[in-house]
């Protein structure tokens, strides 16, 4: 999740990587836009959390709302530090940026749990799928970019871009599995996934542009588009999570005329496996 | 620049695919659930099972080809049975997917749950998809009478499986070209 309106600027500290800490936009049109984005971010984030608290459904989406609460609190702290010209601002901004990249995985876990948890047979499919994809992408795609010797800012751009793509692939895999099994998603999870994908999609383009044009030339645009993407996601999430609307699950219907109780699921699965294998062994 | 273009296309695809996967569906979910239950119930017993055995049984083909001497008719029968086999496998997959969609039953408070191990259920699910996927490939490319036994020989080492002879008696399939 974005850190609120930021621009990557040189200066502000004496130490290498921290020297290019994300900073809110300066004066002029960019500064005004940044201020609007900060206010929108705070207003939407507060609305999202307040609605969940009012509707008493925070506990239904624990990972998602924990991530949202972290973004709100850390956003307020970092903005106050910037406005008060604190010397610790660059360190705090970097810490928040790195934490937000990690915390975004909580949204993937939340989507996974809500899609698959009600179904005992594939309860672990979502987390296994997400974990497997993230592990494979990390080893083959994210890690190589970290070990390349280049500027700290370029490594960070590459890291954000690649982790965004990893999360996008993980979410799309979960949605594909849900589509394959025709699992109902509900308005809450659909909105959460759509907002997250929009945010990740914009992030991927934004950070690819930043990499192509260089952090120095693209810094101002990056600093506006990044928080803008998060604000769009927040808007989608606020609409989708305005009310808690759980998916109504119906028990599997027994065929007409059947009176006996259904077999345990493990027995039925075993029967599918053995009977099919038996038939194909003929 | 090529990298930028590639990432832009990927990002657009992410949003488009997500929107497509999230579009509303299942207007007729309850009716589908009932049909699925019928499939589950009828596939492995009575006429359903007889039909499956007949589809994968090569004796008609051999009778036409070897005893009556109509190889063209035998080939036509194979094509027809191949289509039936694919439809039957699709029905099995549909039934299985219906079973997978079974939600967890709500137990009264104080009732001990004897829920099976989730990893075991996931293992059985993935194993079934593996077998079914393999069966689809073989039926599509080699026809319904191609014997699958050799390919499943490794399964005797999987937990919970036994050799065909122990469990079901000797298979009477004939290897065909």
For residue range A146-202, what is the model confidence (pLDDT) as tens digits?
A: 887 677 778 888 898 999 999 999 999 999 999 999 898 989 999 999 999 999 999
Question: How confident is the prediction for chain B on average, in pLDDT?
Answer: 74
pLDDT (average), residues B40-55? 71
Ordered mean pLDDT values, 10 residues apiece, chain A (282 residues): 47 42 56 86 94 93 95 92 88 88 93 91 91 94 83 84 95 95 91 96 92 81 87 95 85 54 75 80 68
Phi/psi for A22 (5° steps) reads -65, 135
Q: In terms of residue numbers, what domain contains A140?
A: 7-246+260-280
In a domain, A253, yes or no: no
Q: Which residues of chain A neighbour B132 with C-beta distances below 8 Å?
A: 276
More confident residue, B24 or A87: A87
A275 token code pair: 């009977």
Which pLDDT score is estimated for B114? 52
Q: Look at phi and psi of residue B91 and say left if phi exceeds 0, alpha if psi is from -120 to 50, else beta.
A: alpha
Residue B108: pLDDT above 60?
no
Euclidean distance between CA atoms A206 and A68, whole angstroms: 22
Q: Which residue of A has its CA nearest to B116?
A: A266
In a domain, A227, yes or no: yes
Q: What counts of helices (H) and strands (E) characterise chain A?
A: 9, 2
With CB atoms and an 8 Å threshold, state whether A212 touches B25. no
The per-residue pLDDT for range A251-263, each reduced to its tens digit, is 655 555 554 556 6
pLDDT (average), residues B47-70? 82
With CB atoms and an 8 Å threshold, state whether B92 touches A272. yes
Which pLDDT score is estimated for A66? 95
Which pLDDT score is estimated for A222? 82
Which pLDDT score is estimated for A261? 55
Identify the H or E element spanning A126.
Answer: helix A125-137
- Give me the residue label for tokens 């065929």: A255
Q: Which of A161, A266, A273 sits opposite B116 (nearest CB)?
A: A266
ipTM of the complex, rounded to two decimals:
0.82
Looking at chain B from residue 129 to 158, which residues have their Cβ under 8 Å from any Cβ of chain A?
131-132, 135, 147-149, 152, 155
Q: Which residues of chain B neighbour A168 with C-beta distances below 8 Å?
A: 14
Q: How far apart are the first and last CA of chain B?
A: 53
Residue B52: pLDDT above 90?
no
| Greatest mean pLDDT among B46-55, B111-120, B166-175 | B46-55
Euclidean distance between CA atoms A277 and A250, whole angstroms: 30
Which pLDDT score is estimated for B15? 95
Three-class secondary structure of residue B109 per DSSP: coil
Q: How confident is the model at residue B29 (pLDDT cuts 50, 70, 90)?
A: low
With CB atoms and an 8 Å threshold, state whether B33 touches A253. yes
Which pLDDT score is estimated for A235? 96
Q: Which residues of chain B neighbour A254 with C-beta distances below 8 Å?
A: 37, 41
Q: Which residues of chain B neighbour A181 with C-beta distances below 8 Å?
A: 97, 100-101
Size of interface A-B (CB pairs under 8 A): 193
Q: Which residue of B has its CA nearest to A200?
A: B11
pLDDT (average), residues B146-167? 53
pLDDT (average), residues B25-30? 56
Structure letter (DSSP) for residue A7? E
Euclidean distance between CA atoms A252 and B83, whole angstroms: 29
CA distance B94 to chain A (A): 9
pLDDT (average), residues B30-54? 64
Which pLDDT score is estimated for B43? 67
Q: How confident is the model at residue B39 (pLDDT cuts 50, 70, 90)?
A: low
Q: How confident is the model at residue B148 (pLDDT cuts 50, 70, 90)?
A: low
In a domain, A111, yes or no: yes
β-bridge mates for residue B131, sequence order: none
**Global pTM value:** 0.79
A191 token code pair: 């909105």
In a domain, A60, yes or no: yes
In a domain, A255, yes or no: no
Q: Which residues of chain B neighbour A208 with C-beta distances below 8 Å?
A: 3-4, 7-8, 11
Euclidean distance between CA atoms A24 and A222, whole angstroms: 11
Which pLDDT score is estimated for A211? 84
In a domain, A182, yes or no: yes
Looking at chain A from residue 127 to 146, which residues have their Cβ under 8 Å from any Cβ of chain B?
128
Looking at chain A from residue 238 to 267, which residues have their Cβ under 8 Å from any Cβ of chain B?
249-255, 258, 264-266
Which pLDDT score is estimated for B30? 53
Structure letter (DSSP) for residue A139? I
In a domain, A1, yes or no: no
Beta-carbon count within 10 A of A139 CB: 10
Task: State the DSSP string of A192-224.
Answer: HHHHHHHHHHHHHHHHHHHHHH-HHHHHHHHHH
Number of residues that this document lists for chain A: 282
**Is the distance from CB of B148 to CB of B135 less than 8 angstroms?**
yes
In a domain, A114, yes or no: yes
Closest CA to A77 of A100, A54, A105: A100
Closest CA to A187 of A246, A267, A265, A140: A246
Which pLDDT score is estimated for B168? 38
With CB atoms and an 8 Å threshold, state whether A282 touches B15. no
Which pLDDT score is estimated for A11? 40
Q: Which residue of A has its CA nearest to B3?
A: A208
- Please count the structural domains in chain A: 1
Radius of gyration of chain B (CA): 22
């Amino acid at each position: 999740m974005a850190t609120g309106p930021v621009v990557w600027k040189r200066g502000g500290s004496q130490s290498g990587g921290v020297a290019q800490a994300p900073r809110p936009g300066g004066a002029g049109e960019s500064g005004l836009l940044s201020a609007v984005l900060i206010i929108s971010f705070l207003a939407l984030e507060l609305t999202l959390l307040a609605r969940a608290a009012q509707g008493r459904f925070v506990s239904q989406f624990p990972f998602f709302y924990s991530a949202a609460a972290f973004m709100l609190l850390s956003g307020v702290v970092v903005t106050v530090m910037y406005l008060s010209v604190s010397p610790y601002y660059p360190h705090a901004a970097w810490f928040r940026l790195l934490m937000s990249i990690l915390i975004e995985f909580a949204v993937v876990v939340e989507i996974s749990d809500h899609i698959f948890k009600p179904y005992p047979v594939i309860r672990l499919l979502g987390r296994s799928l997400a974990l497997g994809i993230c592990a494979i992408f990390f080893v083959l795609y994210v890690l190589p970019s970290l070990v390349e010797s280049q500027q700290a800012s370029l490594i960070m751009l590459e890291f954000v871009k690649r982790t965004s793509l990893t999360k996008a692939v993980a979410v799309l895999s979960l949605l594909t599995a849900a589509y394959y099994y025709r699992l109902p998603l509900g308005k809450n999870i659909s909105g959460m996934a759509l907002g997250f994908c929009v945010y990740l999609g914009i992030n991927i383009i934004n950070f690819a542009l930043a990499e192509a044009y260089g952090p120095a030339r693209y810094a101002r645009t990056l600093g506006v588009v990044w928080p803008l993407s998060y604000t769009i996601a927040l808007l989608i999430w606020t609409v989708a999570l305005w009310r808690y609307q759980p998916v109504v699950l119906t028990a599997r219907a027994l065929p007409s005329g059947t009176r006996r109780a259904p077999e345990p699921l493990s027995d039925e699965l075993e029967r599918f496996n053995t009977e099919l294998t038996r038939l194909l062994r003929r | 620049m090529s990298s930028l273009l590639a990432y832009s296309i990927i990002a657009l695809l992410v949003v488009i695919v997500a929107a497509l996967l999230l579009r509303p569906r299942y207007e007729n979910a309850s009716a589908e659930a009932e049909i699925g239950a019928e499939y589950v119930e009828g596939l492995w017993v009575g006429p359903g099972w007889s039909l499956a055995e007949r589809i994968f049984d090569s004796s008609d083909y051999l009778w036409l080809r070897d005893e009556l001497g109509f190889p063209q008719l035998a080939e036509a029968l194979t094509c027809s049975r191949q289509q039936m086999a694919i439809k039957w496998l699709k029905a099995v997959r549909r039934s299985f997917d219906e079973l997978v969609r079974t939600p967890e039953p709500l137990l009264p408070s104080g009732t001990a749950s004897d829920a099976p191990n989730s990893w075991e259920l996931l293992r059985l699910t993935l194993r079934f998809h593996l077998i079914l996927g393999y069966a689809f490939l073989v039926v599509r490319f080699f026809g319904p009478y191609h014997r699958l036994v050799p390919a499943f020989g490794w399964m005797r080492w999987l937990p919970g499986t036994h050799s065909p002879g122990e469990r079901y008696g000797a298979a009477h399939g004939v290897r065909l070209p």
